[in-house]
Amino acid sequence: MIENRTILIVEDEIRTRQGFLKTLEAWSAGRYRIECAESGQAALLWLEHHPAHLLVTDIRMPGMTGLELIEMQQRHKHCNPVAIVISGYAEFEYAQRAMQLGVVNYLLKPVDKHQLVQAVEQALMIEDSRYRIETMEKLIDPHLLDTKTTRVNYNPLIRDALVFLDEHFHEPITMRQVADRLHLNPSYFSVLFKEQTELTFSEYVSRLRMQRAKELLLHSGLSIAQIAERVGYQTDKYFIKVFKTYEGLSPSKYRSQKK
């Protein structure tokens, strides 16, 4: 489970709020940042300046309900925490609306310590999964995704070329080599490849290499030079130049920013 996450407790009853805070701080043992807000309005103000990864909120509060808080947060903020709602009222419409808003758990008061901790652990696991999925989605090149989803309609020779490139992009491969493999004239292959994929041969290979490089930058401890070699570049200098062209920053800066 990813640490250094922030949990925001929103509860207007001070004794309940302090009880939740004490329970989660003891359970967290410093792994997570635990914050509190006494109302929906105070929570929104806090969220304007801080990210939260999990929202634990009462439903019935003066001024703004917990469900209204979640709805407003989803509508106006880029950061969209998973949420647990707590209520003293076992009313179907609350649970139904909570589900519509994507709330991951619905607890009825009184909430004991074990129940709260269990719900928080489950919610953080869901948040971790969402985070990893979002991270992977950001790594995927939309142009490459298009070729993956539409290649079934491509010329069989181009489909074969794409499969070969997917498996051998880390090698010092040329367009002529692939054309020869398919028994095609290189010029004709170049035109056909661009016509089918809407990318030049060299651009497609570069995008494959950049996508794999981003995965290695985020999920390995390899050096820039090692990654350059792994994705098919003979020098890290040229790899850095190409990476900057596609991502707008150096591989080392990309790694530090994304991590």
Say whether both 60 and 150 belong to one domain.
Answer: no
Query: Where does a domain end: 83, 103, 132?
Result: 132
Q: Is residue 137 part of a domain?
A: no
Token pair listed for 207 = 């995008």
Say whether both 64 and 12 belong to one domain.
Answer: yes
Letter for the amino acid at 116?
L
Domain count, the chain: 2
pLDDT tens across the length of the chain (259 residues): 566 789 999 999 999 999 999 999 999 999 999 999 999 999 999 998 998 999 999 999 999 999 999 998 888 765 688 999 998 877 767 777 888 888 999 998 899 999 999 999 999 999 988 888 877 777 888 899 899 889 999 999 999 999 999 999 999 899 999 999 999 999 999 999 999 999 999 999 999 999 999 999 988 999 999 999 999 999 999 999 999 999 999 999 999 887 6
Q: Which residues form the domain of 78? A: 6-132
List the CATH number of the domain containing 247: 1.10.10.60
Q: What is the pLDDT of residue 102?
A: 85
Structure letter (DSSP) for residue 200:
-
Structure letter (DSSP) for residue 152:
G
Letter for the amino acid at 45?
L
Query: Where does a domain end: 108, 132, 156?
Result: 132
Say whether both 172 and 228 belong to one domain.
Answer: yes
Query: Where does a domain end: 113, 132, 151?
Result: 132
Say whether both 116 and 173 belong to one domain.
Answer: no
Q: Is residue 1 part of a domain?
A: no
Say whether both 81 and 100 belong to one domain.
Answer: yes
Burial class (CB in 10 A: 0-12, 13-18, 19+), 202: exposed
Q: What is the pLDDT of residue 74?
A: 83
List the CATH number of the domain containing 54: 3.40.50.2300
Reading across the β-sheet that carries 105-108, which strands appear in turn? Answer: 33-37, 6-10, 54-58, 82-87, 105-108
